[in-house]
Chains A and B, each alone.
Chain A
């Protein structure tokens, strides 16, 4: 299994591009510019960490197999918001149901990949790298940013993609964003994203900052030190340009007071200021790893996500940005069809993905087919849509880039983008 560390080690010295370029750069990424920065289309990827129970998210309430497999945690009529005679959203997803009814949301059912891994870490690695069959040599969004950089977009590796909050499996930046240099920005809040010096002598800050810039300009042939110092320079540059941006942004709605909602608010703020970021990567709050007493935890997790996304799209609409932002949710796997002995569910396979956007950009409705609850593989559903089809659709039909080099093959496109 590749780790972030041996990824870098294989890079050798970061300053020597020839030595460090991972093979995918040379072999698979063509230099077709998508011109993301000039377009106005943004993508927000929302990670539901821990393995979301898709069956209690998009519920096949009319299937008796669902209720018999889940005698204690199966959702009853009062826990459901029906979308047709077969399927319902969990009642905790009131906000998303609103988006769905308003023609702003598509649901892709039964998404997974062949020979699923039931390890959180391996499966997350697969979703983030889009490489189910081998040790990953980068992230799918990292490949997109790298292609942009090769096509001459000088901000591609410093500004185009941003992760907000901790999205890595052990904290930090996600594998999805691994690039040649991994200088994707991430932050906890704009007020903390600045160089601080002695408050008792404010004039000293400029002198200290100048010294810091000199120090970070010095390479001493240590690849790790170079990684730190280039990250530092990128951070100082980003902080300066963010400070200069006259931010007239005022949220048009009251966001829920949660870290995830705060992250979405920062996305809206950066989009409103037209900072230049087009790819955002965020995770929801809490862990979806509901092995135990799922009925207590899962609805709360869904509700937190749903309320924040609902506020986000209302805010975007008020700023006339809703048709510029496509949001895609995913989790590393779904859960076992049958509940376990602790009123929870163990690790499973396929699950649903939500695609959200403005009314003029999303073709709402249901995509993929709902996997059978009786034709199972060791208690797990068989996926009907490969997640790389969803990625490919977003890449091709939303971002206008060639998906093959990024997801490593041709996958059938879906029709959820207008």
Chain B
């Protein structure tokens, strides 16, 4: 690629919204494009906590005497992501859910999982050290990694191991003995009636030697020691860079973001600001350099198509693509990247796009393809297949895709005849003889949502 596609302000805004959110609508993109990139980043970072959508689902459910199952809470969260006006809040919540994992398969308690989800939301861009201390007291986490049974004299290493290996400093920076000692420090950290309790009688008050330091440590001490190591800042900053910018950051980038994170005493907003305003974020290398996760792909479609109703099976659709929210496959969360792409997941993705695109009824996924084409909402009706494809490509692919892809879409949409504005208006009426074109309009949307470019962010 000779020219950087991210040199144009509109393309930059669309890119930013794909990364900190789930992709923008034309209005959202225009609003951000009117600001400088730095101001746009600042606007997104300083989001106001969205209390309307992130409401207390648990309380609502209890009032209705209803016991939510996995699909209920997964549906609720995907709706929240699809409707939120603070997409970074949900994007960070999704990141933390894949980082500090807990799964329904193990905990079987949707209330605990919802509370954990709210913890992530409330601390989305707070302080990582605080969040680590809070998650260590989170009942869903304690249940997931067997903290309940981690008792004095009978330590259970599960949480201590993952705290070090996955949640903080990363593999290679501690010993097996450190794990055993850390497990002792967390003894007695449990929960009762869905609330954290510290049971002194079950806590090992003996001396522990952890990462070269000796003392009567408890869990917070362990976390403080781990956070005093620069490797922890590096591990987490690199993970966030990989989530938001591109994989395998250069050593100079790692050094820069580690420095910001470590110096700020683990301030997540400072880290995100450094990352999103880094020149690398708007470099050619960052453009379409990450694979959308199933949730990002699905929620992105729902937002960008302007769906006014969302079918309850949406969480199952994302699950079939490989991502069941509230039920990550392992304590490591989802591998992401190319692991989202295989032939089975490919069919699940494009067949979900098709299911949405062909839904004409009032139930399920409701959207109006002709609104997108600018018909009947004050826009200008396209007067050729090419004009319609240009508009769709602008909406979903920043206008940037290979000319041969546009040609294939145009050829398909035209169906072998020359299209006029009146043909699109007839198709929008839902009556004959516009039915065949209606199928092809929906089919064109399906094809655009099935392009490799749309599967990337």
Contact = CB atoms under 8 A, between A and B. Distances in A.
Interface of A: 1, 3-6, 8-9, 49, 118-122, 163, 166, 168-173, 182-188, 192-201, 204, 207-208, 210-212, 214-216, 218, 220-222, 224-229, 231-232, 234-235, 238-239, 286-287, 291-292, 340-344, 346-347, 378
Q: Which 3 A-B pairs have the closest CB atoms?
A: A341-B154, A342-B149, A170-B335
B354 A197 contact: yes
Contacts of A198: 354, 357-358, 439, 442-443
Given A9-B247, A171-B334, A207-B415, A340 B156 contact: yes
Given A204-B440, A232-B346, A235-B343, A199 B248 contact: no
Contact of A224 (B333, B355, B456): B456
A200 B358 contact: yes
Nearest to A122: B171
Interface string B145-157: 0101111011111
Given A6-B248, A229-B452, A170 B348 contact: no
Nearest to A1: B171
B351 A172 contact: no
Contacts of B345: 172
Contacts of A212: 350, 447, 450
Interface of B: 1, 105, 146, 148-151, 153-158, 161, 165, 171-172, 176, 242, 247-248, 288-291, 320, 322-323, 328-348, 350-351, 354-355, 357-358, 360, 401-402, 404-405, 408-409, 411-412, 415, 435-436, 439-440, 442-443, 446-447, 450-453, 455-456
B455 A228 contact: yes
B209 to A, nearest CB: 16
Contact of B176 (A1, A172, A216, A378): A378
Contacts of B322: 166, 171-172
Contact of B342 (A120, A172, A195, A378): A172
B307 to A, nearest CB: 18
Contacts of A207: 412, 415, 440, 443
Most buried by B among A121, A211, A216: A211
A231 B149 contact: no
Contacts of B338: 4-5, 8, 172, 182, 224, 227
B149 A224 contact: no
26 contacts: A4-B339, A5-B247, A8-B338, A166-B329, A171-B322, A171-B335, A171-B340, A173-B339, A182-B338, A186-B342, A186-B344, A192-B320, A196-B351, A196-B355, A208-B443, A208-B446, A211-B447, A214-B404, A215-B450, A222-B456, A291-B157, A291-B158, A340-B154, A341-B156, A342-B146, A342-B150
A344 B456 CA distance: 43
